[in-house]
Structure 1
């Protein structure tokens, strides 16, 4: 049975209250040390792609959705963006984000039903990193895309990460991995055109779009080498240089990819 919105909100409220770190917002079962290495790869991929957006980032107005620990808020700031607004579903995250980034406005809201908090057409860029696949109701997923389209100016950019499956859709209580055609159709219906899609991770995450045998074997290997924070740190350090190269070399990935879209 699909979880209710209240159950989903409660799950994330409890998770981020208990663990407001990279493991809390990332691949929790692999531990914080490994996640820190994983997020280094994410940071490089995100910054490299976001820096190519054809606009003046110093004067752009950016909205980050599902801000979590503020990881991508910081990435935007490091790219020179001076006007960043963040939002998150949870009270736990928003309270801590306001302490960590006192100069940034943060809103506690559900992007599928944002109300009138966000002014239409007021942002040049919106980012939604590793959060859309946690909207397990397809109707609300599409509503979130429409909300994002409304707050972007015409010609504005939408930067997102998803799993974009070529294989069959995968459904769980707190995550749904949609197919690439399903996502691109939903984006098109919301008024977006895809600019490009590139790997964000390759080996340092669940192999959701890989052969089931490889997916199970590699998942077991990752869990085995991250049983402790010490071994997780060693595994992350060893995989990191390979992962950086794979992300740059490959055109597609069996796990998280980054997509840039433009609002028509």
Structure 2
């Protein structure tokens, strides 16, 4: 519980100070670059969710870990009838309620035992770039069970993760699990994997790449984003490449999007 409290405090401070795409993204690369990065994320999200065949005009959707509300906007753009946001931090929830006054914004601890969401109350749930911030494995699995309970049978679960083929990587505020571990946890929670696709390729930390390449590319990204002006230019140029890469590659050394169905 101490670890959880420390993690929650970290995100309260971070989002309280920087409630932008930079605050919820790769903060060291600045706002301009992260804004480009999120444009690519949004395009992949809308393409993949739009191909699911969901009747979103009659669907209830929950976004877990809404942050700045980026994916609330994506669901709205796709035509979802009802979109509910949620976040663990007061810093995000208060601002989300101001930014989206006609949207219900909850503050559940999705990883708490038992859960607080009404069973089977949603047709689709998204959890984008948030599960790897649950650094306790038992709480990670509990979060998946809570999401499964909140979904109706056959409902869609959309998540983004790093899905490592290389060994697991643990840090104070993030754990990158292996693809095998994550799919196993999803299966235990009652999900079947439908598909997995790159969400980014070059515009984020190369966590599943050769360590030498990871270090070199990370250094280059930081160098070309030293100012917001250079970050804007670098982001725009890399986004052109990303839009092609996320369509032609089957896997990525960084963020991937996975779609699951609840049994």
TM-score of the superposed pair, with normalisation by structure 1: 0.98
CA distance in 2, matches of 1:187, 1:204: 27
Aligned pairs for 1:23-62 (under 5 A) are: 23-62=22-61
CA distance in 2, matches of 1:111, 1:197: 23
The match for 1:102 is 101
Q: CA deviation at 1:3?
A: 6.3
CA distance in 2, matches of 1:16, 1:55: 32
CA distance in 1, matches of 2:2, 2:39: 32
- Contact 2:199-2:255 at 8 Å conserved across structures: yes
Does residue 236 of structure 2 align to residue 210 of structure 1? no
The match for 2:244 is 245
- Contact 1:3-1:173 at 8 Å conserved across structures: no
In structure 2, relative to structure 1, the CA distance for the partners of 1:223 and 1:138 (3 Å cut) is same
Number of positions where the alignment pairs a residue of Structure 1 with one of Structure 2? 263
Structure 1 stretches of 5 or more lacking a match? none
Q: What SS class does the counterpart of residue 63 from structure 2 fall into?
A: strand
Deviations 1:99-158, CA, capped at 9 Å, x for gaps: 111111011121101766421001000000000000000000000000000000000010
CA distance in 1, matches of 2:225, 2:2: 30
Q: Following TM superposition, where does structure 1 have runs of at least 4 consecutive aligned residues deviating by more than 4 angstroms?
A: none
Q: What SS class does the counterpart of residue 259 from structure 2 fall into?
A: strand
Deviations 1:40-73, CA, capped at 9 Å, x for gaps: 1000000000111222011100000000000000
The match for 2:226 is 227
CA distance in 2, matches of 1:188, 1:115: 19
Q: What SS class does the counterpart of residue 84 from structure 1 fall into?
A: strand
CA distance in 1, matches of 2:115, 2:102: 22
- Contact 2:115-2:146 at 8 Å conserved across structures: no
| RMSD over equivalenced CA pairs, Å | 1.1
Deviations 1:143-193, CA, capped at 9 Å, x for gaps: 000000000000001000000000000000000000000000000000000
In structure 2, relative to structure 1, the CA distance for the partners of 1:126 and 1:176 (3 Å cut) is same
Structure 2 stretches of 5 or more lacking a match? none
Larger mean CA deviation between 113-122 and 61-70 belongs to 113-122
Q: What SS class does the counterpart of residue 4 from structure 1 fall into?
A: helix
The match for 2:188 is 189
Q: What SS class does the counterpart of residue 159 from structure 1 fall into?
A: strand
The match for 1:198 is 197
Does residue 86 of structure 2 align to residue 87 of structure 1? yes
Q: What SS class does the counterpart of residue 186 from structure 1 fall into?
A: helix
- Contact 2:86-2:106 at 8 Å conserved across structures: yes
CA distance in 1, matches of 2:24, 2:94: 16
CA distance in 2, matches of 1:169, 1:158: 23
TM-score of the superposed pair, with normalisation by structure 2: 0.98
Larger mean CA deviation between 149-158 and 115-124 belongs to 115-124
